[in-house]
C-alpha cells in the first residue's frame, strides 16, 4: 500500500497534535502498555521526542517509548480505514484498544495499519510502542561493544555509530485514511522516458484490493488513456511530451480509475515527470545531456523538533539551494520526507535518494541485518520511484566496504535494488580507498574525504596536492565517474581570523574554494556535494562543538561566508556541465 494523491473517493484525517507519552524506564520493565498506560506528559506529533523535554534521560533515550491518543472512526459505511504512519524511528508496534494492528521496522519509510472490519464507528484508543534501540542487527546498526570491533572507536553519547543525533519517535505525520472498501492499493510508475523518435512512454501498474478488476489509466494533461486488469503493467505513449529537467520541471499526472460492477469505485493519481537519467562513460546524462551535480548532503534536522516533519524547512532549504546556485541534494543519511521530494519535483531540483544504511559493518551484522537493509532499500524505492527529481539511489553511506564480508553483502543489496528499479544509477558513498572492495557494483563512485579538515591546518597548496592525488587514485582504481559526495570543514558562525585558521568561517570558505578548483580540473568528476548543507545536531563527542558545524548555512538557515563564495562560483543552478 502506498500513499497516493487524494481524490473525491478518499479522505484523510490528520492525527497530528498532542499525544500521551511515556518512556519505559528500567523500573517499569517488563510491562505491556498496549491497552493504555499511566501518562505523565504530552508530546507533539510529528516531532522527535528528544528535545521537547528538559531531562537528560529523555533527551538521550534509546529504549522503548509509548505514545497514545483517542481516535474517532466516523460512521461511513462500505469504507476501508487505515492509519498511515509516514515515519516512526526506529521500529513501531501499533495497537487499537489493545489489539495489534500493525508493525514496522526501520525509521524513515511509511507504513499503513488496516483497522479490522469488526471495529465499530466511535472512539478507540490508539497506542504506539516505539523501540528506539539500535543493535548490530538493525539498519543502521548501533549498540556495539566498542572495545570488540576494530574501527568503532568514537565515544558518542548516546552511543551510535554515526555522526547525527539519533532523534527518535513519531517523526512524520500520522493520518487516518478512508478509502472505498474496494480500492486502488498503489500506483507504481515504472518508467517515464522520452524515446529516440521524440515520443515518450509511461509504464505504469496499479494494484487493487480485489483482484481481477479493470483499471483505466488517464494521463493529464493530454488525456491519453489505456485500460488493463489491475496488477498488469501498461504502457501509454505520449506524443509531443514536455520534458522534466533541472530548473524546468514539467509534471504530468496519471489517474488510476478502478472499475467494479460497471462503475468507477475509486480513483487516485500519481504525479510523474518524463526524463531519462543514465551514466555514459564519464558523464551523468540527464535527458541525454551531461549534468554536473552542484549541491549538498542535507539532514532533516532542526532545533526542538529534531528530525520532525516541517514543510517550512523544505521550502527554505530549496530556496537556499537555488540562492547559491546549486541544483541537487543527497538525502543524507536516510530517505527524507515525501513532501520534500514533491517540492524537488516541482522546483526542478535533483535528488540522490539514500537508504538509512549508514556506517554499516557487514562483519558485525546479525542474521536479519542484510534482509532489513534490502527491505529498507525496496521500501525507499517503492515510495519514491515516481519522483523525477530522484536521479540515483545511494544504497549505503560509508559502509565498512573494505571488509571481505561486504562483497557478498552488497552484491545482494545491489541485485535487489536493481530488480526494484532498473532505470536509475546505483551507488555507494565510500571513504576507504584504496581498500574499497565494492566499487565494481556502483555506476557512480560516491567519495567522501576531508582533506584540510581532519588533521588539517596545513598550507592550502599541500591540501590541494593531496586532494589531487586522492581523486586520481580513486579514478585509477575504479575507472568510473567520481561524484564527490562529501568534503568540507567545520566553521563556527561568526568566528573569523586572519590568516584563516581551523573552525573559522574564513578557513571553511578558503578551503572550499581551493578544493572546488581542484574538482573543476577533473574531467571524470560528475558532481560536487559539500558537506553539509546546514549545521546539524550530533550525539555528544569531544570532536563536535555542540553538533557538526560543517554547514554552509547555520542550523537556522542563515549563510556563512562560504555560502557567498558558492553563490559567486556556482552562479546559476540551471547550467548543466562544468564550463
Ligand atoms: C562522514 C559522514 C557524515 C559526516 C562527516 C563528518 O563522512 O558521512 O555523516 O558527519 O563524516 O563531518 O565528519
pLDDT at 424: 98
Ligand 1 site, residue 531, Cβ cutoff 6 A = yes
The ligand 1 atom at the shortest distance from the C-alpha of residue 490 is: 12
Q: Which of 298, 331, 448, 490 to mutate to test the pocket of ligand 1 (most atoms within 8 A of CB)?
A: 448
Cα–Cα dist 252/261, whole Å: 29
Q: Could you tell me which residues come within 8 angstroms of residue 153 by beta carbon, excluding any fewer than 6 positions away? A: 146
Least confident span in 20-29, 370-379, 411-420, 561-570: 20-29
Q: Could you tell me which residues come within 8 angstroms of residue 571 by beta carbon, excluding any fewer than 6 positions away? A: 325
Give the count of beta carbons closer than 10 Å to the beta carbon of residue 120: 8
Query: 163: CA distance to ligand 1 center in Å?
Result: 6
Q: Which of 152, 166, 446, 486 to mutate to test the pocket of ligand 1 (most atoms within 8 A of CB)?
A: 486
Which sequence positions are flagged as catalytic? Answer: 398, 486
Question: Buried (b) or exposed (e) across 421-458, using 16+ Cβ within 10 A?
Answer: beebbbbbbbbbbeebbbbebbbbbbbbbbbbbeebee
What does the pLDDT average to over 462-478? Answer: 98
pLDDT at 151: 60
* Nearest protein Cα to ligand 1, atom 7: 448
* Nearest protein Cα to ligand 1, atom 9: 163
HSE, side-chain direction, 13 A CA sphere, residue 566? 32
Ligand 1 site, residue 359, Cβ cutoff 6 A = no
What string of H, E and C letters represents the secondary structure of 390-403? Answer: EEEEEEEECCCCCC
Assign 578 a pLDDT band (cuts: 50, 70, 90): confident
Ligand 1 site, residue 486, Cβ cutoff 6 A = yes
489 vs 574 pLDDT, higher one:
489
Ligand 1 site, residue 354, Cβ cutoff 6 A = no
pLDDT at 7: 85
Query: 455: CA distance to ligand 1 center in Å?
Result: 15
C-alpha cell at 445: 563512485
Least confident span in 23-32, 124-133, 212-221: 23-32
What does the pLDDT average to over 437-466? Answer: 96
Stated length of the chain:
579
The ligand 1 atom at the shortest distance from the C-alpha of residue 429 is: 8
Percentage above 70 pLDDT, the chain: 97
| pLDDT > 80? residue 579 | no
pLDDT in tens, 4-57: 788 899 999 999 999 999 999 988 877 899 999 998 799 999 999 999 999 999
pTM score, whole prediction: 0.97
Assign 154 a pLDDT band (cuts: 50, 70, 90): low
Cα–Cα dist 10/183, whole Å: 9
Ligand 1 site, residue 536, Cβ cutoff 6 A = no
Burial of 211 (0-12, 13-18, 19+ CB in 10 A): exposed
Nearest Cα to 336, choosing from 324, 322, 318? 318
| pLDDT > 80? residue 187 | yes
What does the pLDDT average to over 402-410? Answer: 97
| pLDDT > 60? residue 252 | yes
pLDDT at 455: 85
Ligand 1 site, residue 448, Cβ cutoff 6 A = yes
The ligand 1 atom at the shortest distance from the C-alpha of residue 550 is: 12
* Nearest protein Cα to ligand 1, atom 4: 163
* Nearest protein Cα to ligand 1, atom 5: 163
Which phi and psi (to 5°) does residue 309 adopt? -65, 130
pLDDT at 456: 84
In this structure, the strands spanning 293-297 and 328-330 are parallel
CB 441 within 8 Å of CB 429: no
Ligand 1 site, residue 485, Cβ cutoff 6 A = no
Least confident span in 2-16, 116-130, 296-310, 352-366: 2-16
pLDDT at 574: 61
Ligand 1 site, residue 156, Cβ cutoff 6 A = no
* Nearest protein Cα to ligand 1, atom 6: 163
Amino acid at each position: 500500500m502506498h500513499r497516493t494523491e487524494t481524490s473525491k473517493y478518499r479522505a484523510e484525517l490528520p492525527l497530528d497534535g498532542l499525544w500521551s507519552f511515556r518512556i519505559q524506564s528500567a523500573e517499569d520493565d517488563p510491562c505491556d502498555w498496549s491497552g493504555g498506560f499511566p501518562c505523565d506528559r504530552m508530546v507533539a506529533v510529528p516531532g522527535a521526542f528528544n528535545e521537547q523535554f528538559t531531562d537528560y534521560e529523555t533527551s538521550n533515550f534509546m529504549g522503548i517509548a509509548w505514545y497514545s491518543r483517542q481516535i474517532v472512526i466516523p460512521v461511513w459505511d462500505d469504507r476501508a480505514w487505515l492509519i498511515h504512519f509516514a515515519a516512526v524511528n526506529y521500529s513501531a508496534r501499533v495497537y487499537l484498544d489493545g489489539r495489534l494492528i500493525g508493525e514496522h521496522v526501520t525509521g524513515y519509510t511509511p507504513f499503513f495499519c488496516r483497522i479490522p472490519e469488526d471495529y465499530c464507528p466511535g472512539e478507540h484508543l490508539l497506542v504506539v510502542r516505539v523501540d528506539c534501540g539500535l543493535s548490530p542487527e538493525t539498519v543502521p546498526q548501533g549498540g556495539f561493544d566498542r572495545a570488540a570491533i576494530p574501527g568503532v572507536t568514537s565515544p558518542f553519547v548516546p552511543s551510535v555509530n554515526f555522526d547525527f543525533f539519533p532523534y527518535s519517535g513519531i517523526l512524520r505525520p500520522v493520518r487516518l485514511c478512508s478509502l472505498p472498501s474496494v480500492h486502488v492499493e498503489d500506483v507504481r510508475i515504472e518508467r517515464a522516458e522520452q524515446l529516440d523518435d521524440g515520443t515518450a512512454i509511461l509504464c505504469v501498474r496499479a494494484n487493487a484490493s480485489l483482484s481481477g478488476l479493470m483499471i483505466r489509466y488517464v494521463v493529464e494533461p493530454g488525456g491519453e488513456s489505456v485500460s488493463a486488469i489491475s496488477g498488469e503493467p501498461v504502457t501509454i505513449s505520449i506524443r509531443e511530451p514536455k520534458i522534466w529537467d533541472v530548473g524546468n520541471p514539467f509534471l504530468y499526472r496519471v489517474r488510476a480509475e478502478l472499475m467494479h460492477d460497471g462503475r468507477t469505485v475509486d480513483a487516485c493519481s500519481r504525479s510523474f515527470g518524463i526524463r531519462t537519467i543514465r551514466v555514459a562513460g564519464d558523464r551523468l546524462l540527464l535527458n541525454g545531456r551531461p549534468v554536473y551535480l552542484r549541491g549538498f548532503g542535507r539532514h532533516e534536522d532542526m532545533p526542538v523538533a529534531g528530525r520532525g516533519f516541517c514543510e517550512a524547512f523544505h521550502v527554505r532549504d530549496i530556496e537556499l539551494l537555488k540562492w547559491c546556485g546549486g541544483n541537487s541534494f543527497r538525502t543524507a543519511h536516510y530517505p527524507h520526507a515525501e513532501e520534500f521530494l514533491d517540492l524537488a519535483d516541482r522546483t526542478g531540483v535533483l535528488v540522490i535518494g539514500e537508504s538509512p544504511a549508514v556506517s554499516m559493518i557487514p562483519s558485525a551484522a546479525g542474521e536479519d541485518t542484510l534482509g532489513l537493509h534490502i527491505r529498507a532499500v525496496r521500501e525507499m524505492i517503492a515510495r519514491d520511484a515516481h519522483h523525477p527529481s530522484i536521479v540515483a539511489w545511494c544504497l549505503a553511506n560509508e559502509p565498512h566496504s573494505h571488509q571481505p564480508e561486504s562483497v557478498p553483502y552488497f552484491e545482494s543489496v545491489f541485485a535487489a535494488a536493481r530488480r526494484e528499479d532498473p532505470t536509475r544509477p546505483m551507488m555507494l558513498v565510500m571513504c576507504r580507498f584504496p581498500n574499497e572492495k565494492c566499487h565494481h557494483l556502483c555506476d557512480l563512485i560516491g567519495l567522501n574525504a576531508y582533506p584540510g579538515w581532519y588533521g588539517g591546518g596545513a598550507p592550502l597548496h599541500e591540501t590541494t596536492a593531496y586532494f589531487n592525488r586522492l581523486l586520481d587514485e580513486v579514478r585509477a582504481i575504479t575507472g568510473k565517474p567520481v561524484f564527490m559526495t562529501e568534503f568540507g570543514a567545520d566553521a563556527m558562525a561568526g568566528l573569523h581570523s586572519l590568516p584563516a585558521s581551523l573552525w573559522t568561517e574564513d578557513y571553511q570558505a578558503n578551503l572550499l574554494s581551493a578544493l572546488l578548483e581542484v574538482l573543476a580540473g577533473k574531467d571524470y568528476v560528475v558532481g560536487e556535494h559539500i558537506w553539509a548543507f546546514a549545521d546539524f545536531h550530533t550525539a555528544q563527542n569531544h570532536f563536535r562543538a555542540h553538533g557538526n558545524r560543517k554547514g554552509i548555512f547555520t542550523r537556522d538557515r542563515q549563510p556563512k561566508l562560504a555560502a557567498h563564495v558558492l553563490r559567486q562560483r556556482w552562479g546559476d543552478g540551471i547550467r548543466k556541465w562544468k564550463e
